Amino acid sequence: MTNKVSLTKGKGIIDVQLTVENGGDTEGNADATVTGVQNDTVVSTQTVSVTDAVGGGATRYTFQSYIPDATGDIVWTAVINDGDPDTDAATATTVVNP
């Protein structure tokens, strides 16, 4: 994800990407959901089906870009819903300046 954007300088596009690496011993598909929260409001939620070969390195998935219309940090949370008992989640923050 783009770490910083400026609304007034015309750089307000956030590229949302997720890199998946399968550390287990079973290949499979699962839904990955990325949610962006800015100023206590969900501003973006996107879901894609992901797969990654066992021991095959990392696979990058690109979500639809997001264009913020307000300032304030956006906290992105990615969750892979693979049915395993562990939680497959990660977070990242984008700073949106005026």
Domain boundaries, the chain: 4-97
Q: What integer is the mean pLDDT of 14-28? A: 84
pTM: 0.85
User: How high does pLDDT run on average in the chain?
Assistant: 86
SS3 per-residue string spanning the chain = CCCEEECCCCCCCECCEEEEECCCCCCCEEEEEEEEEECCEEEEEEEEEEECCCCCCEEEEECCCECCCCCCCEEEEEEEECCCCCCEEEEEEEEEEC
4-97 belongs to CATH 2.60.40.10: yes
pLDDT reported for residue 46: 97
- Percent of the chain past pLDDT 70, that is, above it, reads 92
Nearest-angstrom CA–CA distance, 24 and 28: 10
